[in-house]
Structure 1
Amino acid sequence: METLIIVVIIFGLLVSIHEFGHLIVAKRSGILCREYAIGFGPKIFAVKKGETVYTLRLLPIGGYVRMAGEDPETFEVKPGQSIGVYLDRRGHVSRIVSDHLEKHPDARFITVERCDLDEKLILSGYEQEDGPLVSYTVNRDATYLADNQDFQIAPRDRQFASKPLLARFLTIFAGPLMNLILAVVIFIIYFSIQGVPSNEPVLGKVINGYPAEKSGLVAGDRIVQIDGHRTMNWQGIVNYVSDHPKENIHLTVERNGRQKQVSLITGQRKGENGKFEGVIGVYQPTRHSFIASVGAGFSQTYYWVKMELVGLKMLVTGGFDLNKLAGPVGIYHATGEVVAQGLFFVLNWTAFLSVNLAVINLLPLPALDGGRLLFLILEALRGKPVEPQKEALVHFIGFAFLMLLMLLVTWNDLQNLFSR
């Protein structure tokens, strides 16, 4: 249960930050954002603030920002249709009702002759069967009632497609960018608490029961030499010890300005390459500095971005073991293992997943942010946009393939889980 709660919190944070990036840049660009949703499926919670409805939905597998103009408008007023309208003090239409008119006896009823909610914002029709044609100006922020919820109309200049190419590009790019920023912030917090790894040839925390502790070494000891070889940095210590498993080594140690000789027999463990490597049971030294933590936050994020790209390259070229490809079940299982190790491991894991979400979303694949950015780049090269119907079809097919891939990866997760 604890793992499930942590997973929901982590993914809720990653998705909400991602979608917030889209939302804030879209609003800054003047795009009408109808809904900011976390999750998919039926609504659990909804609240309207300003012109946007903020919803929490049942299935915690993503989220979205519904911008005007990205999809065909769901509300259309056709000639001959009977509607109810509410007027403001100036006599302009402030609200349109098309269903269950009997529930709105205080509305003014009109049989529509013409309705333009995109450009001229004019509504004309007949209030009586034999009456004169009447015309009303529609407010730019007028609403229409649908599913017991008022939605704001979207004049052409409030729609996504009407905005300059750069504004649309930044709106889409802002989601992955916010995930990268989140990763940087989390890593900064982590390093501010834990300290920034130092490459000085100094011992960090000494682990009880290991050779270093048994030989009397303590945190802060500076290793001057190993077997007569001068040590210049921490990595030099690691490399030498690693190359000498189960061997007697002699250290020259400096403590409080004095040097002493220490001998110990290294332990051993199996490395990633299957070979045994030496260990003495010490952690890398750290230093506490906010400026250093900021630098480490950026460098660690860059490192994981690079590793993600390397992994994707191996996946394409065939050098990646597909059995190691993890989906929702695999991530859930891995999160459970991370939770068992403590808060700081959870912070690292959250930052890594945030980087992963950013990089995956920037891939030039249909239905992902990268796919949408690719269409915008094509528009810039062609000098005109791709036809909306064709783009929508490509994204639909891409989404179907992504769902199929998700099912296959989940099946792989389950096989790996039950084969352990």
Structure 2
Amino acid sequence: MWIVGFLLVLGPLVTLHELGHYLVGRLFGVKANAFSVGFGKELAGFTDKRGTRWKLSALPLGGYVQFAGDMNPASQPSEEWLSLPPEEREKTFQAKPLWQRALIVFAGPAMNFAIAIAILAAFNFAYGKLEVPPVVAAVQEDSAAERIGLEPGDRFVEVDGQPIESFNELRSIVAPNPGETLDMVIQRGDELRKVRFEVPTLVERDRFGNEYKIGLLGVASDGGELVPVGPGEALVLGVQQTGETVELMVLGIWQIVTGRRSVEELGGPIKIAKYSGEQLSLGWRQFVSFAALISINLAFINLLPIPALDGGHLAFYAAEAVRRKPASPRSQEWAFRTGLAFVLALMLFVTINDIVSLPILGG
């Protein structure tokens, strides 16, 4: 189940990421020599009238697009590129203006964001949005809420400087911040009260034994109601939910960097495979929701300003726009090698982390 779930999640998402690059490249007249679904040996394929070889390859772990003239990993002009006839060179990636190259590179992560937004918007349209007023219905015994004196009927007005309009907004602030001290404004009758509290840490385990550290205030809502939404509002909600997920990713990375979360919470391909199989076993809705989350992860990671990733290329393009000239080929090559070494080291680390955390090894 792990393998099936992993292939069903990562294969299509990576292929669609590459399709984003291809479509925008084609829009700007860049020739693609090949577009492969999968890696390795070609199993089947055909060449279209534009000269692009579309192929199905043996390892179904994603895919790739190879643009004409893209003769080195850093996408730098080379002697081989300079030797191309002018009419062929004009169809290559390197020959295009800076803004077009930047859009072609950005199109991959943008495609992943668009996939996630489409999935979330579809769910919002199909099932509606849950509206839960930020009002306390019950207070858990011996909880942080009880210690700071919250009572049923209290209404949350503001937490950590952010206005609260729904119970979900309260949860999205408290849950990712275990151990943090937050300021809160509540309304009791006509009175506004300010309180400060430290968010207790709760270690939860799901049905598969996966552990999650979350912050818990200890209050319950009245359940709320599902409200139907139209396609426009569903799309807006999808964009908002995607943005909130990105904010949580940034917060999680910052908490790991500052030592407030353990590096053991970082996951790699083995954990993705494990969670993919688990979500697949729960049904298509849970699996598709998980695919949306992974799609956002792929977009976010690829936009990090690390050479060898899309974000690294975009960082070089931004520097080129400011300096009015590109960085030297030597500096780009060294940056690319350093970035590649960092990415490989990180992949090795998270893979070891994944293996150690497997139940069979006592994780």
Residue aligning to 2:127: 194
Residue aligning to 2:103: 170
Distance 1:351 1:403, change over 3 A: same
Bigger-Rg structure (1/2) = 1
Distance 1:41 1:295, change over 3 A: same
Question: Superposition pairs for residues 306-321 of structure 1, below 5 Å?
Answer: 306-321=247-262
Residue aligning to 1:56: 56
Distance 1:310 1:276 in 2: 19
- Give the drift of 1:307: 1.1
Q: Is the 8 A contact 1:19 1:63 kept in 2?
A: yes
Residue aligning to 2:263: 322
Stretch deviating more after TM superposition (345-354 or 54-63): 54-63
Query: 1:349 aligned to 290, 298, 301, which one?
Result: 290
Q: Is the 8 A contact 1:46 1:56 kept in 2?
A: yes
- Give the drift of 1:26: 0.7
SS at match of 1:158: coil
Q: Is the 8 A contact 1:190 1:347 kept in 2?
A: no
Q: Is the 8 A contact 1:38 1:64 kept in 2?
A: yes
AA of the residue aligned to 1:343: W
Residue aligning to 1:340: 281
Q: Is the 8 A contact 1:15 1:38 kept in 2?
A: no
Residue aligning to 1:305: 246
Question: Superposition pairs for residues 201-350 of structure 1, below 5 Å?
Answer: 229=153, 235=167, 277=218, 283-290=223-230, 291-350=232-291
Q: Is the 8 A contact 1:270 1:276 kept in 2?
A: no
Query: 2:340 aligned to 387, 392, 399, which one?
Result: 399
Distance 1:322 1:229, change over 3 A: closer
Q: Is the 8 A contact 1:45 1:55 kept in 2?
A: yes
Stretch deviating more after TM superposition (173-182 or 61-70): 61-70
CA offset digits 1:342-384 (Å, max 9, x no partner): 2221122111111110010000101100011111112112222
SS at match of 1:229: coil
Q: Is the 8 A contact 2:110 2:299 kept in 1?
A: yes
Structure number with the bigger relative contact order (C-alpha 8 A, sep ≥ 6) is: 2
5+ residue gaps, structure 1:
77-115, 120-139, 141-154, 203-225, 240-268
Q: Is the 8 A contact 1:196 1:292 kept in 2?
A: no
Distance 1:274 1:292, change over 3 A: closer
- Give the drift of 1:316: 3.1
**TM-score (structure 2 length as normaliser):** 0.71
Residue aligning to 1:15: 14
Distance 1:338 1:378 in 2: 42
CA offset digits 1:129-172 (Å, max 9, x no partner): xxxxxxxxxxx5xxxxxxxxxxxxxx121111111110001010
Q: Is the 8 A contact 1:270 1:277 kept in 2?
A: no
Q: Is the 8 A contact 2:305 2:311 kept in 1?
A: yes
The answer to which structure has the higher helix fraction is 2
- Give the drift of 1:276: 9.0
Distance 1:75 1:41 in 2: 27
The answer to which structure has the higher strand fraction is 1
AA of the residue aligned to 2:69: G
Residue aligning to 1:45: 44
- Give the drift of 1:11: 1.3
Distance 2:250 2:319 in 1: 23
Distance 1:169 1:336, change over 3 A: same
SS at match of 2:90: helix
Q: Is the 8 A contact 1:35 1:52 kept in 2?
A: yes
CA offset digits 1:254-273 (Å, max 9, x no partner): xxxxxxxxxxxxxxx98756
Identity among equivalent pairs (%): 32
Distance 1:234 1:44, change over 3 A: same
SS at match of 1:376: helix
Q: Is the 8 A contact 1:43 1:55 kept in 2?
A: yes
Distance 2:324 2:216 in 1: 57
Distance 1:293 1:229, change over 3 A: same
Residue aligning to 2:184: none
**TM-score (structure 1 length as normaliser):** 0.62
Superposed CA RMSD: 3.3
- Give the drift of 1:18: 0.8
Residue aligning to 2:142: none
- Give the drift of 1:35: 1.3
Distance 1:318 1:231 in 2: 33
Residue aligning to 2:138: none
Distance 1:65 1:396, change over 3 A: farther
SS at match of 2:71: coil
Distance 1:381 1:286, change over 3 A: same
AA of the residue aligned to 2:85: D
Q: Is the 8 A contact 1:200 1:285 kept in 2?
A: no
- Give the drift of 1:62: 4.2
Query: How many correspondences in the alignment?
Result: 293
AA of the residue aligned to 2:272: I
- Give the drift of 1:29: 1.0
- Give the drift of 1:302: 0.8
Residue aligning to 2:85: 118
Distance 1:333 1:349 in 2: 12
Distance 1:37 1:183, change over 3 A: same
SS at match of 2:132: coil
AA of the residue aligned to 1:286: L
AA of the residue aligned to 2:70: E
Distance 1:389 1:228 in 2: 65
AA of the residue aligned to 2:131: S
Distance 2:3 2:245 in 1: 25
Distance 1:43 1:355, change over 3 A: same
